Amino acid sequence: MKAKLIIPLILLLSFCTLFSDIVNYDKIIRNLKGVKSYEKEDFEKSEDNFKRNSIKYPKDARLLFNQANAQVKNGLLEEAEQNYKLALNNERFKDRSRALQNLGNVKFLQKDYKNAIKNYRDALVENSQNLDARYNYELAARMLQRQQEQKQQQQSNDDQENKDEEKEKQEQQQQQQQDKQDDKQQEKQQKQDEQKQNEKQKTQEQKLKEQKKEDAEKMLKALLQKEKEEMKKEKEKMNVDRTKTGKYW
């Protein structure tokens, strides 16, 4: 089995340095605390410092950018996306290329490679020398192609599965129809067998009836014949008696 090639995504999450015509130490110190916590990988504390700063100074796009970077590390991708967009809405924000690149990274992590490519392209428009954005652009393009191939393969598998299910369904329907036909044929054959049996029984009963009638006629004839013979003997006897007595009637 081929080993999967893991291609790293360049997450350029560097921070904006804060300067101001009028130095605001509170904002700068809290921002530095956020950077320091981030470097120690205490991303929750880092985000908290950036968040408190951005709430207090909502018009400073650099604070929103830094907060979004910390949110990416905390897995708050939707919140990070929103803050990157807010930073980009500020026309005075100069680090637009990195913000667009990081926004592309968010979409990449969400496996929305199509929009990731768009953001990387916009980052290159802002700064054609942004090599990290170019690298991620090419990576996202390959991932999008792979994703589309997987979808096509999945669709092909689903289509084949649907075809198999439809074929199985048709086979079941055919089997059910065949079973119904077999049942009807069996029922028809059973009725025919019953009809033949009834006809055979009627024939036997008719023969038995005819045989009884024939036997009765034979018996009647025998009785008549016997009666005739007895009458004949009786008559002969009477003739003999007349001869002996000489009496005639």
pLDDT of residue 157: 84
pLDDT < 70 stretches in the chain: 1-23, 240-249
pLDDT of residue 3: 38
| Same domain, residue pair 142 and 52 | yes
Q: Which of 149, 181, 204 is the last residue of a domain?
A: 149
The answer to whether position 5 is within a domain reads no
Q: Which of 134, 149, 164 is the last residue of a domain?
A: 149
Kindly list the distances between the CA atom of residue 207 and the CA atoms of 120, 186, 202, in Å, as whole numbers in the listed order.
105, 31, 9
The answer to whether position 163 is within a domain reads no
Q: What tokens does 145 get?
A: 């192609």
Q: Which of 149, 175, 195 is the last residue of a domain?
A: 149
pLDDT of residue 2: 38
Q: Quick check: 96 and 88 in contact, CB under 8 A?
A: yes
pLDDT of residue 22: 43
- Residues of the domain holding 134: 25-149
Total structural domains in the chain?
Answer: 2
| Same domain, residue pair 111 and 225 | no
pTM of this structure: 0.60
pLDDT of residue 88: 93
| Same domain, residue pair 141 and 52 | yes
Q: Quick check: 16 and 66 in contact, CB under 8 A?
A: yes
CATH of the domain at 143: 1.25.40.10
pLDDT of residue 231: 82
Q: Measured between alpha carbons, how far is 76 from 40 in angstroms, rounded to an integer?
A: 19
